[in-house]
Structure 1
Amino acid sequence: MTDFDLVVRADRVLIDGKWRSAAVGVSDGVITRIGPRHAEWSAREIVSIPSDEVLIPGVIDTHVHVNEPGRTEWEGFASATRAAAAGGVTTIIDMPLNSIPPTTTMEALELKRAAAEPQASVDVGFWGGAIPDSLGSLQPLHDAGVFGFKAFMSPSGVDEFPHLSTAQLREALAETAAFGGMVIIHAEDPDHLEPYGGGIHYDDFEASRPDRVETSAIASVISALRATGGRAHILHLSSAKALNQIRGAKAEGLGLTVETCPHYLVFDADQIDDSATQYKCCPPVRGAANREALWDALKDGTIDFVASDHSPATAELKLEGNFGRAWGGISGLQSMLAAVISGARDRGIALETALEWLTVKPAAFAGLTDKGAIREGARADLVSFAPQRTWTVRAKDLEHRNKVSAFDGETLTGQATRTWVGGAQAHPHVDEEPNPGRLLTRASATMEGAGAAAR
C-alpha cells in the first residue's frame, strides 16, 4: 500500500498566498495532505521540483472560444486544451460562440459536451448564450449547469449570435436575477461606433471604437443592475476611462465584476504596425497610459481578474492585413500565464499577487470552490513554474490549431514546465488515453467525468 497516488515536493509552494517549502500529497485527484518537503511518504509517483521552479495552482481561464463544433478549423477542444495545459492553464470555461450552433439551447449544450468529453486535456466548463430568441427560456441551461450567460451589446461578428438591445439586456438581467444567474457582457455601445471603411492603419481602426463605446455601454449595464438587482460581469475591459464608473458601482454594492486580458496589459497602440491584424480585437488595444491604468486597477481591485479572451481564427481570416476585414480576436490561451507574470515582474508586482488574478479570483468568480489554491481538499490542479526563465514566444511552436498569435516574437519571463490536472499529468505533446480533463458544471450542480476523471 502507498500513502498517495502522487507526491510533489518543492522548495517553494504557494500556500495561503505565501511561499512554503512543502510536499503535496494527492489521492484520487484531490490534495489530501500538505506536509514538510522531505516527509517520508510513499506514492506511486514522487516528483521533486527543481530549485529554480515553484509549485503553483493551475490557472483558471474563464473566457475561451474553443469554436467546436461548427468552426473546429479555427481551434477545437483537442488543440485548445493541449495549449492550455502547455501554458499552465488547468481549467477553461468555453464561450457559447463562435461554435455552430451557439450554446443557446439544451441541444447545443449537449453537442458541446459530446465534443469536449473525449478530447479534454484540462477541465472544461461552459457558458450559455443570451440572444434575442433565447430570452425567457434561459433557466433550463442554468439548471443544466452553465456558469452564466454571454450577451453582446453590439454585433458579435457572427450572424448566429445576434446582440441584445439595451432593453433586452435589462430583460436578461431581470430573468437571470430571478434564478440567481449571471450575465457576462461584451460591453460596446453600437450607437457610439464611428463609421469605418477598413484599411491597413491601426490608428484608424482604434479611432472607430473610441473609449465612449465602452463607457456608454457600461453605464447602461450599471443602470440595468440598479433596476433589476441582477449580477453582471464586464468582459475584456479595454478602456481605463470606465474605471471610475466601475468603482462607483462597486461602492454602491451592485453585483458587478470585471476582467481584463493579457493583450491589454502587454501591448499598446503605438507598437502596432500597419497591416498587423494579429493585434485586432474588440474593444481595441489602446495607448500606453491606458495600459498602465489597467494594471493599477488590477492592483487596487477595481478589475477583479485576468482572462485570455482566446478567440482564434484561421490564418487566412486573421492575417488579412486589412483591419476592417480581419477577424477581431487574439489567440492568447497558451501564453496568458507567462504574459501576465512577465508584465507584473516588469512593474515590481510580486509573483504571488499576480497569480491571484489568474487562480484564486477567477475561481471565486466562477464558484469553483475546489480550485484556485493549493490546500487540503482542493483538486490537485498543479503547475511547476519557472519564474525567472526567459523565453521567446514562437507562434509555430504553440499547440493551437492555427499558428497565429499577437504574442509571436514577444520575450517573456516565466514559463510553465509541467502541469497536473486532478493529479494526472497533462501531456500537451503526446496523444495519451485517457485525457485527464473533466466536464464541469456550476458548483451547485454535479461534475461529470471525462477522460481520466474516475481514476
Structure 2
Amino acid sequence: MASQVNFDKVVRGQRVVLPDEICPAEICIKDGVIAEIRKGSASSFEAGVEVIDAGDLYVMPGVVDSHVHVNEPGRSEWEGYVTATRAAAAGGITTIVDMPLNSVPSTTTLAAFQTKLDTARDKLYVDVAFWGGVVPGNEGELQAMIAAGISGFKCFLIHSGVDEFQHVTEPDLHKAMQALQGTNSVLLFHAEVDQPIGTQTSTSPQAYQTFLQSRPKAMENHAIQLVSDMCQQYGVRCHIVHLSSAEALPIIRTARQRGLPLTVETCHHYLTLCAEDIPDRATQFKCCPPIRERNNQEELWDALKARDIDMVVSDHSPCTADLKLLDTGDFVAAWGGVASVQFGLSLFWTNAAQRNLTVRDLVDWMCVTTSDLCGMGHRKGSLEVGKDADLVIWDPDGTFTVTEDIIQHKNKVTPYMGRVLKGVVHRTLVRGNTVFSSGTFSSQPMGTILLKPTN
C-alpha cells in the first residue's frame, strides 16, 4: 500500500523571505495552505509531490495591493476582473482589494456589494477583497455590509470624479463615524478638500504646472487635519489613501504620538515620478492628488523609512484611452488616474534598491501592512504555517522594459511606457496554484473572493 502524500506541493529556494530571516527553506503546501516550513538543506519528499525549485531567486509572500479600481460592472470598458487580476498575477500580486467607485452601481449598499460579488465570481486570477463606500445618507447600510464581509469603507472629501459616488461633508462624516464605532472596521479617506487656489502662474490647459497648481498641498493638509480630528473624536480606525503632500506629515506624526488609530499609504507614482520630469500634454501622468516636485518626493521616501508612512500601493485607476485626451493634451479636462497594478513590485524595487532598502522592507510595506489594513492579515502577507500559500518567485537583479505587448490591464495607457524596471517576476502562486509563470497564465482563473471575518 502506497504511503500517504503529506503535501501537495513544495516550493524550495535559497532565499526564502520568512518573518524572522531570509534563508534556504522549503515551503510545504497542503490544500492551498502552508502546512510546514523547513529551514536549511533540501529534503526528500514522497512520489507525487510537486517540487518547485526557485534556486537563488527570491521566494517571498505574494504582494497585497489594497488600492485597485477594477470598475466592473458598469465601466468594464475601463477595466474588468479578468484583465485586472491577470495584470496583478503577472506582477507578483496575489491579492487585490477593489475600490467601491467607478463601477456602476458603486459599492455603497448591501445590494450593490452583492452585485459586485456576483460579477467577480469565476473571473479572478488572484484573490480579491472589497472596499465599500461611505456617501451621504448611507450610514444605515454600513453595519450590514460589515456583516457580509466588506473589508472596510472609503469616502471622498472632494468630488470623486464620478457623479454617482458623492463626496461627504463633515455632518455626513459624523453620522458614518457613529455607525462605525465599535465595529473594528476602517474608514479610508481620499484626503483633499476644496481650498482657495490663489494666483496661478500657469494657465495653459496643456501645461502640467497648470494642473499641479490647481491641486495644491493645502488641499491635502487641511483634509488630513480633519481626518485626524475625526479619528480622535470617535476612535474609529482611519486610513489616508495616496498621500502625496509631504507637508501633511507633521499632522500625521502628531496624531500617532497621541495614539490615534491612523494609518497612511503612498503610491508608486509619487515615489517614482516627479513634476519636473512631466512633459506638457502628457496626460497619462495625471492623477489626484497630483504628482509633486522632487524635493517633496524625497520627503515621502524619508517618511517611509521612518515608518511615518505604513504602506505602498498602486492606486491602479485606469480608463479608456479617449478619456485621457492624449490628442489634445488637456490636463484640466483629462481623466485623472495612473494605470500601474502590474508593475508595482518592480517600480518599488527599482527605486528602493537605489536607496539601500531591502526585500524585507518591501515585504513590510507591500505585503504585511496592506493585508492587515484590509482585514486579511490572518491569511495573507507573510510566509507562516497556517496562512495561504501565496508566493511570488522573482529575480531582484533582472530588468525589463515596459512595452505595450506585455501589459495585461485592459487599457495600455501608462506613464511607465518605455521605462526600464528592475525586478522580474518568474512565478506567482495563489493558495498553492501557479497562476502566472514566465509569461503564461493558468488555463482558468484560480482566484477567489475574500470576505473579512466579522468576529
CA deviation digits over 1:376-396, x for unaligned, max 9?
111100000100011111134
Residues 170-319 of structure 1 aligned to structure 2 (within 5 Å)? 170-192=174-196, 199-319=205-325
Change (3 A) 1:70 1:37: farther
User: Which amino acid in the other structure matches residue 122 of structure 2?
Assistant: P
User: Which amino acid in the other structure matches residue 247 of structure 2?
Assistant: K
In structure 2, C-alpha distance between the alignment counterparts of 1:194 and 1:79, rounded to whole Å: 42
Deviation, structure 1 residue 54: 0.9
Deviation, structure 1 residue 189: 0.7
Pairing 1:349–2:373 present = no
For residue 325 of structure 1, what is the aligned residue in structure 2?
333
The 8 Å contact of residues 395 and 405 in structure 1, kept in 2 or not, is answered as: no
Deviation, structure 1 residue 17: 4.4
Deviation, structure 1 residue 193: 5.1
Deviation, structure 1 residue 18: 2.0
Task: Tell me the SS of whatever aligns to 2:423.
Answer: strand
Deviation, structure 1 residue 3: 2.7
In structure 1, C-alpha distance between the alignment counterparts of 2:291 and 2:352, rounded to whole Å: 18
Deviation, structure 1 residue 409: 1.5
User: Which amino acid in the other structure matches residue 30 of structure 1?
Assistant: V
For residue 73 of structure 2, what is the aligned residue in structure 1?
69
For residue 435 of structure 2, what is the aligned residue in structure 1?
426
Change (3 A) 1:4 1:163: same
Change (3 A) 1:22 1:164: same
In structure 1, C-alpha distance between the alignment counterparts of 2:296 and 2:210, rounded to whole Å: 18
The 8 Å contact of residues 371 and 381 in structure 1, kept in 2 or not, is answered as: yes
Task: Tell me the SS of whatever aligns to 2:451.
Answer: coil
Task: Tell me the SS of whatever aligns to 2:181.
Answer: helix
Deviation, structure 1 residue 198: 6.5
User: Which amino acid in the other structure matches residue 179 of structure 2?
Assistant: E
In structure 2, C-alpha distance between the alignment counterparts of 1:252 and 1:84, rounded to whole Å: 37
In structure 1, C-alpha distance between the alignment counterparts of 2:431 and 2:353, rounded to whole Å: 29
Deviation, structure 1 residue 10: 0.5
Task: Tell me the SS of whatever aligns to 1:34.
Answer: strand
Pairing 1:16–2:16 present = no
User: Which amino acid in the other structure matches residue 354 of structure 1?
Assistant: L
Deviation, structure 1 residue 433: 5.3
Task: Tell me the SS of whatever aligns to 1:112.
Answer: helix
Deviation, structure 1 residue 435: 2.0
CA deviation digits over 1:14-39, x for unaligned, max 9?
01142110111101000101113411
Question: TM-score w.r.t. structure 1 length?
Answer: 0.94
Deviation, structure 1 residue 106: 1.5
For residue 143 of structure 1, what is the aligned residue in structure 2?
147
Deviation, structure 1 residue 179: 2.6
Residues 124-139 of structure 1 aligned to structure 2 (within 5 Å)? 124-139=128-143
For residue 43 of structure 2, what is the aligned residue in structure 1?
39
Pairing 1:436–2:434 present = no
The 8 Å contact of residues 95 and 126 in structure 1, kept in 2 or not, is answered as: yes
Instruction: Give aligned-pair identity as a percent.
Output: 43
Q: Which runs of 5+ in 1 are unaligned?
A: 446-455
User: Which amino acid in the other structure matches residue 73 of structure 1?
Assistant: E
User: Which amino acid in the other structure matches residue 26 of structure 2?
Assistant: A
For residue 385 of structure 1, what is the aligned residue in structure 2?
394
User: Which amino acid in the other structure matches residue 258 of structure 2?
Assistant: E
Moved more, 103-112 or 245-254: 103-112
- How many residues were matched structurally? 444
In structure 2, C-alpha distance between the alignment counterparts of 1:431 and 1:366, rounded to whole Å: 26
Change (3 A) 1:153 1:394: same
The 8 Å contact of residues 10 and 37 in structure 1, kept in 2 or not, is answered as: no
Deviation, structure 1 residue 365: 2.0
Deviation, structure 1 residue 192: 4.1
Change (3 A) 1:97 1:381: same
In structure 1, C-alpha distance between the alignment counterparts of 2:341 and 2:280, rounded to whole Å: 25
In structure 1, C-alpha distance between the alignment counterparts of 2:221 and 2:104, rounded to whole Å: 31
Q: Which runs of 5+ in 2 are unaligned?
A: none
Pairing 1:412–2:421 present = yes
Change (3 A) 1:423 1:217: same
In structure 2, C-alpha distance between the alignment counterparts of 1:247 and 1:156, rounded to whole Å: 27
Deviation, structure 1 residue 432: 4.8
In structure 2, C-alpha distance between the alignment counterparts of 1:8 and 1:2, rounded to whole Å: 16
Alignment counterpart, residue 28 of structure 1, candidates 31, 39, 45: 31
CA deviation digits over 1:256-278, x for unaligned, max 9?
11000000000000000001111
The 8 Å contact of residues 198 and 325 in structure 1, kept in 2 or not, is answered as: no
The 8 Å contact of residues 146 and 454 in structure 2, kept in 1 or not, is answered as: no
The 8 Å contact of residues 137 and 172 in structure 2, kept in 1 or not, is answered as: no
In structure 2, C-alpha distance between the alignment counterparts of 1:68 and 1:106, rounded to whole Å: 16
User: Which amino acid in the other structure matches residue 16 of structure 2?
Assistant: V
The 8 Å contact of residues 173 and 232 in structure 1, kept in 2 or not, is answered as: no
User: Which amino acid in the other structure matches residue 318 of structure 1?
Assistant: K
The 8 Å contact of residues 192 and 212 in structure 1, kept in 2 or not, is answered as: no
User: Which amino acid in the other structure matches residue 245 of structure 1?
Assistant: I
Residues 19-168 of structure 1 aligned to structure 2 (within 5 Å)? 19-35=22-38, 36-42=40-46, 43-51=48-56, 53-168=57-172
Deviation, structure 1 residue 139: 1.0
CA deviation digits over 1:336-391, x for unaligned, max 9?
01101111001111221122100111122222112111111111000001000111
